[in-house]
Amino acid sequence: MKSSALVFLAAFIALSASWGGFVLAPQLQLGRTAQVKTGPAQDNYPVARPGLAAQGAEVYRSLGCVYCHSQSVGQEGVKCEIILIDAGTNATATLAALGKLNRELDKPQTLALLPKVILQVADMNAADPILKAIGAAGAKAQVLVNAVGPDISRGWGRRRTVAQDYLYDLPVQPGSRRVGPDLANLGLRMPDVNWQLRHLYAPAATVPGSTMPPYRFLFEFRKIGRQPSASALQLSGKDAPPAGYEIVPTEAARALATYLVSLRANAPLFESPFTAPAAPPVVTTNSPAK
């Protein structure tokens, strides 16, 4: 075998190139992903799911919800709104600076009723010089970053989903089909556990026209004992159990519903920014203010 060195070299290059592509490159890109502090309140994000919700993730996985639901919000880009907050003390200089950005803005009305949106630009690169020009004239402006795209307009999220969002999920269940809505932020849209349970038991009765299959085996149909159970479903119409009977969620149903309301991926991240509304002030006492 004269060319054994060549064969070895070819195999070596092929294997090391694929190792580089499949192991090294992802590790360099994502290997150091860690929890971060984010948003106006500097909350930790993401956080591990608490016990019952973590069990619910397994129920979600075992029932194949992922075949009809994605957990991954898409985004086409951002729109930055420039908001004039303070006109400064020299109105003439401010108007002159604004007039240079857009001739329409060089009018006294521009400075009335602040704060207000004065310009819309494509991204932060375009916004930065505008902020500088406004600042140089002694006025103050702020940028509001809004994510845009069809998923965002549907209300499925405030920004696109990124790898960081799945940090504590093993396995991740981003899904690839959308027979039903995306669930990445379900916990913010529908935080009511009892609604989730009723929907799992009778989707069509909860959402008229729903084609989602009911998951009745997650519930127990039983005779009311000495006292009705506190967790029995409140059902009406043809789904209601006959008198003397009740429908009670099993442990798996409660875990699944807890998992569903724990789905919230809405903290702004460096790689997927948007401007979060300011956190409400933390009230630690209900005694009257002094």
Q: Choose which of 63, 114, 163, 224 interacts with ligand HEC (CB under 6 A).
A: 63
Binding mask 3-42 for ligand HEC (x = CB under 6 A): ----------------------------------------
126 belongs to the binding site for ligand HEC (CB under 6 A)? no
- Identity of residue 121: V
212 belongs to the binding site for ligand HEC (CB under 6 A)? yes
The overall longest dimension of the chain from CA atoms, in Å, is: 92
Least distance from ligand HEC to the Cβ atom of residue 155, Å: 8
Task: Answer whether 255's CB lies under 8 Å from 59's CB.
Answer: yes
> How many whole angstroms from its chain centre is CA 80?
19
Q: Choose which of 48, 85, 122, 207 interacts with ligand HEC (CB under 6 A).
A: 207
67 belongs to the binding site for ligand HEC (CB under 6 A)? yes
Cα–Cα distance for residue pair 191/109, rounded to 1 Å: 43
215 belongs to the binding site for ligand HEC (CB under 6 A)? yes
Please identify, using beta-carbon distances, which residue of 67 and 221 lies nearer to ligand HEC.
67
Q: Choose which of 15, 47, 48, 179 interacts with ligand HEC (CB under 6 A).
A: 179
Please identify, using beta-carbon distances, which residue of 127 and 159 lies nearer to ligand HEC.
159
Cα–Cα distance for residue pair 24/231, rounded to 1 Å: 50
End-to-end CA distance of the chain: 92
216 belongs to the binding site for ligand HEC (CB under 6 A)? no
Least distance from ligand HEC to the Cβ atom of residue 200, Å: 6
And the tokens for 132?
A: 């500088």
180 belongs to the binding site for ligand HEC (CB under 6 A)? yes
What b-and-e string marks burial along 230-250, b requiring 16 or more CB atoms within 10 Å of the CB? eebbebeeebebeeeebbbbe
- Identity of residue 45: Y
And the tokens for 173?
A: 């269940």
Give the count of alpha carbons within 13 A of 83, CB side only. Answer: 12
Cβ neighbours for 192, distance < 8 A, ≥ 6 positions apart: 261
Please identify, using beta-carbon distances, which residue of 210 and 229 lies nearer to ligand HEC.
210
265 belongs to the binding site for ligand HEC (CB under 6 A)? no
Least distance from ligand HEC to the Cβ atom of residue 262, Å: 12
Where does this chain bind ligand HEC (CB under 6 A)? 60, 63-65, 67-69, 179-181, 186, 189, 196, 203, 207, 210-213, 215, 256, 260
